[in-house]
Structure 1
Amino acid sequence: MSITSGVLVVGAGPVGLVAASQLARLGVPVRIIDTLGAPTDESRAVVIHARSLEMLAALGVCPRLEARGRRVDGFEIADGTTGATRATVDLTGIPSRHPFMLDIAQPDTERVLAERAAELGVVVERGVELTALTQDGDGVEVTLRTSAGDERARVGWVVGADGAHSTTRHLVGTRLEGDFHGQHFAMADVEVETSLDPGTGRMFTHPDGLAMLFPLRGTRARVIFLVDDPGDAPAPTPERIEALTHERTGGRVRVTGSHWLTYFEIHHAQVPQYRHGRVLLAGDAAHIHSPAGAQGMNTGIQDAANLAWKLALVARHGADPALLDSYQEERHPVGAEVVRVTTRLTDIGTASGPLGVLRNAAMAVAGHLPGFGEAAAERLAELTIGHPGSSLAVQHGGHRRGAARAGEHAPDPAGLRRADGTPVAVEELLQRPGFVLLVHGDDGDLGELGDVLGDLGTVVRLDADEHGMALVRPDGYLGLVADTADPDLVRRYLTEVLRLPATVAAT
């Protein structure tokens, strides 16, 4: 049996690759495996939202992703028969450094993330399957099936990011709980000809069922249609996709070629617990739901970003493993809300008959309500996600009106500049692994604060008149927010909240 430290990541999709890369950046030995002998050519997830892009920016991969994808500035709900617009969502004004959706084929996303992982010394082991695991208080013994035979290894932790049919989930004895029977959809990646603006994603309502169109790079697009139960048919024919596209968009989109076609049935479910001792579940291994709103891969990427820095504190810096309970505390409610909202969106989008007429009328009214578009845009971009009630969110002293609170995602404060005086974003500072401690004005002794934080992160002075400090977590959320830059507050946060050994905080 081989003995290794660190973390085994099971599954080399976007979620597993983000988890492995973030762990490697934070100094944790990582091994990542996948049962597939080669990367998938199936483009199941095609949208990366603003909040996920903010987290991926720390990996330094956003320029590469944007080069392979298309920026989409908004989303429109239209009548598939008349073409009339019922509601629009404009993303260009959302409070994010990435005010758009990035439409990109999943194989391209995985290719970029795998390249970054390799740069960090993590190479995917393909054709390797997890077949058994047992754990104790010190580690996890796993059995891996490879082309050379079975291998037994011992690792510190296992991250199960192996999708909707997760072996890791099965091996820890848990299961998805929810609704497993619902609507059927046809989905395809196609080449299209259309006069519609490629900078807008669309949902078309139609008496025969909804259709969705997500423009990709060039003339490529993702199309999704509500259909009757296809039975045993594995995939629709190109001719069927061409006909559905013509019918459901009122002839405004014409398919000229097909890349990938499939049927799928919507399920809505979630595991009760994301943590099982030294095994943690993320992405589709933990929650599955409708593609409405394109939330699935994004929720998984954010699971990985949330988990990685906590696991690094435990695996590398000796934090109490109880810190990992905050992964369940913070991410399980997010997953539950995604399941609830996507279920509702699917029910609304697939309504027909009198309910469909009522839906269309309601959308037309809502689309003209003040603030509707802004609120819908922020929710679609996942900017409303936060952890204000988390045990890791500590607000000390007074709170200035309009300022961000602990548990919220860190904005770019005024006065945040590089050493040469040019403005810099928080996500750029997070490209250096670890925490970022923002100190306002002349508060605090940067040397002493740096000594307390040690190699856990970086201290940055803000050119501002306010007082206090804010500790930005590696996933971009605010942990500690205080009205004074007292080093003892940082020290207590590290030891009492993040459960790090006192010797680490004192180094």
Structure 2
Amino acid sequence: MLPDTTEVMIIGAGPTGLALSIALHQAGVDHVLVERLAMGLNTSRAGVVHAQTLQSLESLGVAGRLVELGLKLDDFAIRDRDRTLLKLGFDNLPSPYPYVLMIPQNLTEEILAERIAKLGGVIHRGVEAKAVTQDRDGAHVTVVQNGREKTISARYVVGADGMHSVVREAAGIGFDGEAYDGVFVLADVRLDWPLGPTEVSLLFSPAGLVVVAPLPDGSYRIVATVDEAPEKPGIADIQALLDSRGPSGDGARVLDLIWSSRFRVHHRIAKSYRNERLFVMGDAAHVHSPAGGQGMNTGLIDAVVLGELLGEVINGVRPESDLSLYEALRRPAAQEVIELAGRLTNMALARAPLLRILRNIALGLVNRIPTIKRGITLKLSGLSRAKMATLPAPSQSGVRKQPTKSEVKLVA
């Protein structure tokens, strides 16, 4: 049953909302997590978890389980069909997780949800947030469950509710940016793939971009840019993409289609991550091209940072003014990610022959310079943004720690 009041209300139970709930549970903070959908999505969507994300998720107690169920890959390659332009290795990253971890998003969400259940938490599914307001006394969320409206009051409300965020709109926060031309095709397939299941491959061609990445169950994730696509691309559509963009020698052969979709990609960032008691994170705060596999990773780290910060403020370890640290750390990180994904996408979408030649020459030169390659792997892994994932130590002057609920129970 939904309560009338809570300390923190989280709207949206995708990966970011789930991760924030875990952090608040561990901090002993009373909160409510609601999700419009009656059940979690069973499609894989985001498929990669990077090293810095895994390091951040250690604090939530889920990194080990992700590694156990995921597929570790050392290599990321950019190719122009048959020609290797740039090959990056992740096996020497300065991290306990020196690899790219391939794991479908639905499995990531299952692991996060299991952790919430283990902590005694509940995900309130089938609950839609219709309106959000705030005043000096708190924030108020009108929700609908089984056709009935209810208002829940909270000290803080966090929007993990995607690109069309109700919380961001209620907070009056702008969402700067625009959509890329065309659409992206996303599919998981069984595949005879000449490059094998050992690398993430980003392939350029005059026809456009295609990304092919192995998944733990032996299938492959396909992401491609197209001018137009059916709502659910079929085997013939995916085969045509690989025929025109993949290796031209021993071509790929699609054996089975597990699922597919199409979507339009935007590159946008919220003008602010907070308006008083209202916060945004994940896709509600930033969206961009899937090139580089950065979206879910950036959102998960948003959740870890915000969860730690809210926990310390509510428990009296930090002053409320420290809530500004969330935007100060995480918005610049998102800006860097949007620029990185944008550069990769713009390179891939180059159609003019001269631009393609110049791009290939430039990437070939980069491939010969270890220091530059090292810098790219650090950016892709997120390790170059580690400082933006770490809160400074709280100042203890003038701050009195309030007991958490669990501590109160122990005293009682």
The TM-score with structure 1 as length reference comes to 0.75
Letter in 2 for 1:35: R
* Residue in 2 that maps onto 1:120: 119
Alpha-carbon distance in structure 1 between the residues aligned to 2:15 and 2:274: 20
* Residue in 2 that maps onto 1:178: 177
How many angstroms does 1:197 deviate by?
Answer: 3.4
How many angstroms does 1:348 deviate by?
Answer: 0.9
Residues 2 and 152 of structure 1 are in contact (CA less than 8 Å); yes or no, is this contact kept in structure 2? no
Alpha-carbon distance in structure 2 between the residues aligned to 1:73 and 1:40: 29
Alpha-carbon distance in structure 2 between the residues aligned to 1:176 and 1:354: 35
The answer to whether structure 1 residue 236 and structure 2 residue 236 are counterparts is: no
Alpha-carbon distance in structure 2 between the residues aligned to 1:48 and 1:183: 26
Residues 52 and 386 of structure 2 are in contact (CA less than 8 Å); yes or no, is this contact kept in structure 1? no
Partner secondary structure for residue 140 of structure 2: strand
Alpha-carbon distance in structure 2 between the residues aligned to 1:252 and 1:478: 48
How many angstroms does 1:181 deviate by?
Answer: 4.0
How many angstroms does 1:266 deviate by?
Answer: 2.1
Letter in 1 for 2:233: P
Residue correspondence of structure 1 range 381-420 to structure 2 within 5 A: 381-387=381-387
Alpha-carbon distance in structure 1 between the residues aligned to 2:401 and 2:312: 13
* Residue in 1 that maps onto 2:358: 358
Alpha-carbon distance in structure 2 between the residues aligned to 1:33 and 1:3: 13
For these two proteins, the number of residue pairs brought into alignment is 399
* Residue in 2 that maps onto 1:59: 60
The worse-fitting range, judged by mean Cα deviation, of 138-147 and 242-251 is 242-251
How many angstroms does 1:300 deviate by?
Answer: 0.4
The TM-score with structure 2 as length reference comes to 0.92
How many angstroms does 1:318 deviate by?
Answer: 6.4
* Residue in 2 that maps onto 1:38: 39
* Residue in 2 that maps onto 1:395: none
How many angstroms does 1:229 deviate by?
Answer: 3.2
Residues 35 and 126 of structure 2 are in contact (CA less than 8 Å); yes or no, is this contact kept in structure 1? yes
Q: Percent identity?
A: 35
- Which structure has more relative contact order (CA 8 Å, sep 6+)? It is 2
1:362-420 C-alpha deviation (Å, 9 max, x unpaired): 11111011322221111110100044xxxxxxxxxxxxxxxxxxx7xxxxxxxxxxxxx
Residue correspondence of structure 1 range 49-88 to structure 2 within 5 A: 49-80=50-81, 83-88=82-87
Alpha-carbon distance in structure 1 between the residues aligned to 2:148 and 2:71: 43
Residues 129 and 146 of structure 1 are in contact (CA less than 8 Å); yes or no, is this contact kept in structure 2? yes
Residues 87 and 366 of structure 1 are in contact (CA less than 8 Å); yes or no, is this contact kept in structure 2? yes
Alpha-carbon distance in structure 2 between the residues aligned to 1:229 and 1:500: 57
Alpha-carbon distance in structure 2 between the residues aligned to 1:144 and 1:370: 54
1:291-329 C-alpha deviation (Å, 9 max, x unpaired): 111111111011111111111112222643211111111
- Alignment counterpart, residue 500 of structure 1, candidates 395, 399, 404: 399
Letter in 2 for 1:69: G
What are structure 2's unaligned runs of at least 5 residues? 404-412
Residues 193 and 219 of structure 1 are in contact (CA less than 8 Å); yes or no, is this contact kept in structure 2? no
Root-mean-square deviation (CA, aligned residues, Å) is 1.9
Partner secondary structure for residue 384 of structure 1: helix
Residue correspondence of structure 1 range 124-139 to structure 2 within 5 A: 124-139=123-138
* Residue in 2 that maps onto 1:161: 160
The worse-fitting range, judged by mean Cα deviation, of 373-382 and 176-185 is 176-185
Residues 316 and 402 of structure 2 are in contact (CA less than 8 Å); yes or no, is this contact kept in structure 1? no
How many angstroms does 1:16 deviate by?
Answer: 0.6
Residues 234 and 257 of structure 2 are in contact (CA less than 8 Å); yes or no, is this contact kept in structure 1? no
Letter in 2 for 1:240: D
Larger proportion of helix: 2
* Residue in 1 that maps onto 2:287: 288
The worse-fitting range, judged by mean Cα deviation, of 182-191 and 290-299 is 182-191
Alpha-carbon distance in structure 2 between the residues aligned to 1:478 and 1:270: 21
How many angstroms does 1:28 deviate by?
Answer: 0.5
Alpha-carbon distance in structure 2 between the residues aligned to 1:43 and 1:165: 21
How many angstroms does 1:168 deviate by?
Answer: 1.5
Letter in 2 for 1:32: L
Partner secondary structure for residue 29 of structure 2: coil
Residue correspondence of structure 1 range 214-363 to structure 2 within 5 A: 214-230=213-229, 233-250=230-247, 251-317=250-316, 319-352=318-351, 353-363=353-363
| Closer/same/farther in 2, CA of residues 478 and 277 from structure 1, 3 Å limit | closer
* Residue in 1 that maps onto 2:406: none
Task: Give the structure with higher Rg (CA).
Answer: 1
| Closer/same/farther in 2, CA of residues 66 and 135 from structure 1, 3 Å limit | same
Alpha-carbon distance in structure 1 between the residues aligned to 2:63 and 2:313: 28
What are structure 1's unaligned runs of at least 5 residues? 388-406, 408-474, 481-492
